[in-house]
Amino acid sequence: MRECRAGRGGVLLALVILVLLCVPTVLFCVYELLLEKGPSGEDPLIYLAGLALFGGLLVFGVHRVVRGLPYISYHEEKVVIHWNEREETVVPWSEFQQEIQVGPLFPSGIVLTQRNPPQGRGKREISVYPTHRGFRAFQSALEAHGILGGGQWPPDINCEEVFHIFTPDVEKTCVEIAQIISQNEKEVVAAFQEGLAAPQQYLAQQEQRLKSQYPLSKEEMKRCVADPWWLMRDVLEQQQVVCTRDWKDELEDFLFFLFGTKRAKAEGLTLDPRYFGLSRAGDIPEWSRLLNGKLADKGLVVGYLGTEADEYTLFLTTQEELDTLERLAYSIHQIISGFN
């Protein structure tokens, strides 16, 4: 399932700022109330209020992080809103608008509010922002199911415009990502750079293959090849550096295509699912987590590139490389992740 959630780096930064703000203030208030010798001439209620305010804020922040921050997961059939680690709401797309109210959140986010929370529960809502991992893909999913669009999104808020206030060097970053995933294979990097330099020429050369592979109009295909992220994925797949699999993939197909990538062949990986202890009843995230354990002796893990469809673009890499790839992708508002 795809996810839309706050990035680990952002959560950690917010928690550090909260601790740095609240802990000194709480200690100062305690000192003034309990340890300060002699009359200070100030009303102790000020320090009591400060202790309650900043102490409560600190406890609330730590509690939310420990209990689990809310996030959204989804695929083509349903949406799961995870309110915390123990509570979640599962909603089929067909019933989404009856169960969940969707609205804008200034300046460019989305707020989801449960229309009929369980008895004894107050208002429950979750907010997602362009800085969340998977935001654009989730926004596209809402639009595809007719939940956003058609006048429901305020016309004075342009999400894409706000999202790209700080425009990174997307092409340069994508080239760096391609170099890492392909282990700097010159043929792969050169093919990608040629496509970046002349995307319409790339489309003309690959038109027959692209027509059979993607059910898109010519104008849509022109926009795709002009997108460095899309072009990078296509080149890497054609060069057998990555493989794209449907989220409902069969185990044998998953192994066949993943182990057909260049890095897997270089490592001499076997196709026998029994060796890895994989079950046909599982799915790609489960199989990938099991593979990570089996491939630990080779220093490899399974990673994936974010897409806007119910599929995984998979590749093998090292954990160190994956950490670097995650940071690079995040810097251009895309997703590269692993299966933990």
pTM: 0.53
pLDDT above 70: percentage of residues in the chain: 84
- pLDDT(111) > 50: yes
Instruction: Kindly compute the dihedral angle of the four CA atoms of residues 67, 71, 72, 73, in this order, to the nearest 10 degrees.
Output: -70
* Nearby residues of 102 by Cβ (< 8 Å), 6 or more positions away: 110, 111, 112, 142, 147, 148, 152
pLDDT in tens, 112-152: 888 777 766 667 888 888 888 888 888 888 888 878 754 34
What are the residue ranges spanned by the domains of the chain? 2-67, 71-157, 170-338
What average pLDDT score do residues 77-100 get? 87
Nearest to 249 by CA among 208, 283, 297, 286: 283
Contact (CB, 8 A) for 111 and 104 = yes
pLDDT of residue 167: 44
How are the residues of the chain apportioned to helix, strand and coil, as percentages rounded to the nearest 5? 50, 15, 30
- pLDDT(223) > 60: yes
What average pLDDT score do residues 65-90 get? 83
- pLDDT(303) > 60: yes
- Centroid of chain to Cα 56: 31
Contact (CB, 8 A) for 174 and 332 = yes
- Between 302 and 33, residue with greater pLDDT: 302
Domain 71-157 is found in CATH 2.30.29:
yes
**126, containing H or E segment:** strand 125-128
- pLDDT(212) > 90: no
The angle formed by the CA atoms of residues 184, 312 and 130, to the nearest 5 degrees, is: 90
Instruction: Fill in the DSSP letter of residue 214.
Output: -
User: Identity (one letter) of the amino acid at 304?
Assistant: Y
Cα-only R_g, the chain:
24
pLDDT of residue 61: 77
Q: For the chain, what is the mean pLDDT? A: 82
- Between 184 and 282, residue with greater pLDDT: 184
Phi, psi of 107 (to 5 degrees): -90, -20
Instruction: Fill in the DSSP letter of residue 40.
Output: -
pLDDT of residue 324: 94
Distance CA 235, CA 177 (A): 12
pLDDT in tens, 17-75: 888 888 888 888 888 777 664 445 566 778 888 888 888 888 877 776 666 678 899 88
Nearest to 235 by CA among 197, 287, 285: 197
pLDDT in tens, 162-172: 344 334 588 99
Q: Which residues of 11-20 are buried (b: 16+ CB within 10 A; e: fewer)?
A: eeeeeeebee
pLDDT in tens, 237-246: 999 999 999 8
| Inter-helix orientation angle 228-238/199-213, to 10° | 60
- pLDDT(339) > 80: yes
What average pLDDT score do residues 187-207 get? 92
pLDDT of residue 334: 86
Distance CA 265, CA 262 (A): 5
Determine the length of the chain. 340
- Between 189 and 56, residue with greater pLDDT: 189
- Model confidence at 154, pLDDT cuts 50, 70, 90, reads very low
User: Identity (one letter) of the amino acid at 128?
Assistant: V
pLDDT of residue 5: 84
pLDDT in tens, 249-277: 898 899 899 999 999 998 888 766 666 67
- Between 124 and 291, residue with greater pLDDT: 291
